[in-house]
Structure 1
Amino acid sequence: MTAAVRAEFRKFFTTRMWWGMAIAIFVAGAGLSVLFGFLLTQPQDPTDAARGIPTGTPEQVANSVYTSGLQVGYLLLLVIGVMQIGSEYRHKTITSTFLSVPRRVRLMWAKVIALLGIGVVYGLISMVASVVAGAIVLSARGHEAFPTAGVIRTLVLSLLVLGLWALIGLGAGILIPNQVAALLISVGVAWIVEPIAGVLLGLWDWGREHIVMYLPTAASQAVVNGVTQSGPNAAPHLEWWAGALVLAAYAAVLAGFGSWRTVHSDIS
């Protein structure tokens, strides 16, 4: 198992893609934390909550600033998850991979462990960029950089979120055999279809109260416990632990079913 995991890491970190995405995540984390730092530290009007303008406690403000680059991060990890298996089929290396690790279950576990590790690596890169830049802005604007211990918990959980999105990408890459199609569909669903669906469901009372909170993006936002929209038309949100369980369920179903299919399918 150790050799298989090491081989998966080597496959990824010996390509030029890893440092290109590392730069993108670093820049996104730093840039968005500065932007959100200025936006969320504007003086709040007492009527903001009643008008549905996003508001939050000092802890939620810090969480939102430090995790503002998370959406870019999990989209990139989604892409990495798709390519971790999709490139094997596209470049016809899946046969040699299975020959080198004949036990397919062990190989799929190695890919899962490697993707979780890759998620942690990129999460740390994003965390360093966003915390340094965000803390400077918060301090300059008269806010505490770490108002409560909950901020540390949020930063740790953001690593888990990125790893789980990588596993969602792994499942999508297996279930959609064509790598290009898998990339377009998975990114399109996460970036375009799901946000639009969330808005449309939010117009329907039952959908806003019972469906929107369980969408992957909404669950990810619940994990970080950031600034949320308030008011009578605001959609309810899950507790951070419930959001983590929902996102883990998505990853388990997609990566689990995809791995089962890979283990039992013929490779030519």
Structure 2
Amino acid sequence: MWWILALVLFGYIALLAGGLAALFGGLESGAINPDAVNTGGGSSLTGLGSLPPLIYSFASSVGYVFPVLLGALATTGEFRHQTLTPTFLATPKRGRVLGAKTISLFVVGAALGVVGLAASVGVGALVLGGFGVDPLLADGETWALIGRTVLAMALWAVIGVGLGVLVPSQVASIVIVLAFTQFVEPLLRFAAAFTEVTADIGKFLPGAASDALVGASFFTLASPGGTVLEPWQGGLALLAYGLVATVGGYFISWKRDVT
């Protein structure tokens, strides 16, 4: 599944990043008449050096669902295909097995981050450059954002491993991942922006923490007055989600008898 998910991730992010880079790059350069596009004031969005990071951040702000799915499949597949039995017979220390799987998926998640960035940065920078917008590839902060994106995708894969251990049913875990990432959390983040109290809570949601770690996201523009975590705080929040899910799953399902 990993290479299928990687291909879909690349195509999905390339389409989004390329399309929005063309739209906002065209508005920025004047190639597209702002009056012809209902941007909701979006043309002011582009008068900036911040447009390229917003485009590049699609690798994580939208693509994070892919490492989560892969991490969940890596653990639920053990239950579905009953490979846990020979695995535990060969390595009776189950904590070591789970730790190795977590580390392995951290690396694979980082690799998916590189794939997503190849799409968002590669295609996005090419399109922005075509409209005469500086892609900021010589800016050190851009490369810092790229590094934080790789870290965020790696941590999402760890969260997926923990979820797969918590919910051993492969179908149920996939449904939970898709429902939460594509429907539940976006609604929660939108609703949380209406009051200061809920905004302080909403910034700790996994997606909000990931965007804070990366340092840029189109989703944060929906609530310009909302509070966000510092990058290091977002990284710690994501890590905490992964550790809590993995440790909880270890005691709930991983230690059970298998046949």
Partner secondary structure for residue 58 of structure 2: coil
**In structure 2, what is the equivalent of residue 28 of structure 1?**
12
**In structure 1, what is the equivalent of residue 21 of structure 2?**
37
Distance in 2, Cα, partners of 1:59 & 1:253:
38
Deviation digits for residues 133-189 of structure 1 (CA, Å, limit 9, x no counterpart): 111112122222226211101111111111111111111111112110111012211
Distance in 2, Cα, partners of 1:57 & 1:105:
52
Q: Is 2:171 aligned against 1:180?
A: yes
Distance in 1, Cα, partners of 2:46 & 2:245:
33
Preserved contact between residue 66 and residue 130 of structure 1 (Cα < 8 Å):
yes
**In structure 2, what is the equivalent of residue 48 of structure 1?**
none
Relative to structure 1, the CA distance from residue 181 to residue 55 in structure 2 (aligned partners, 3 Å threshold; closer, same or farther) is same
Alignment equivalent of 2:181, drawn from 183, 187, 190: 190
Preserved contact between residue 148 and residue 214 of structure 2 (Cα < 8 Å):
yes
Distance in 1, Cα, partners of 2:230 & 2:46:
15
Q: Which amino acid aligns with 2:257?
A: D
Query: TM-score under structure 2 normalisation?
Result: 0.85
Alignment of 1:190-209 (within 5 A): 190-208=181-199
Distance in 2, Cα, partners of 1:255 & 1:138:
41
Regions of 4+ moved over 6 Å:
none
Relative to structure 1, the CA distance from residue 58 to residue 156 in structure 2 (aligned partners, 3 Å threshold; closer, same or farther) is farther
Q: CA RMSD in A?
A: 2.5
**In structure 2, what is the equivalent of residue 114 of structure 1?**
104
Query: TM-score under structure 1 normalisation?
Result: 0.82
- Alignment gaps of 5+ in structure 2: 35-39
Distance in 2, Cα, partners of 1:223 & 1:178:
30
**In structure 2, what is the equivalent of residue 155 of structure 1?**
146
Q: Which amino acid aligns with 1:32?
A: L
Alignment equivalent of 1:219, drawn from 209, 215, 221: 209
Distance in 2, Cα, partners of 1:20 & 1:82:
15
Partner secondary structure for residue 32 of structure 1: helix
Q: Which moved more, 1:79-88 or 1:145-154?
A: 145-154
Deviation digits for residues 14-60 of structure 1 (CA, Å, limit 9, x no counterpart): xxx22211211111222222122123433499xxxxx8868478453
**In structure 2, what is the equivalent of residue 241 of structure 1?**
232
Report the CA distance between 1:72 and its aligned residue: 4.0
Relative to structure 1, the CA distance from residue 259 to residue 57 in structure 2 (aligned partners, 3 Å threshold; closer, same or farther) is farther
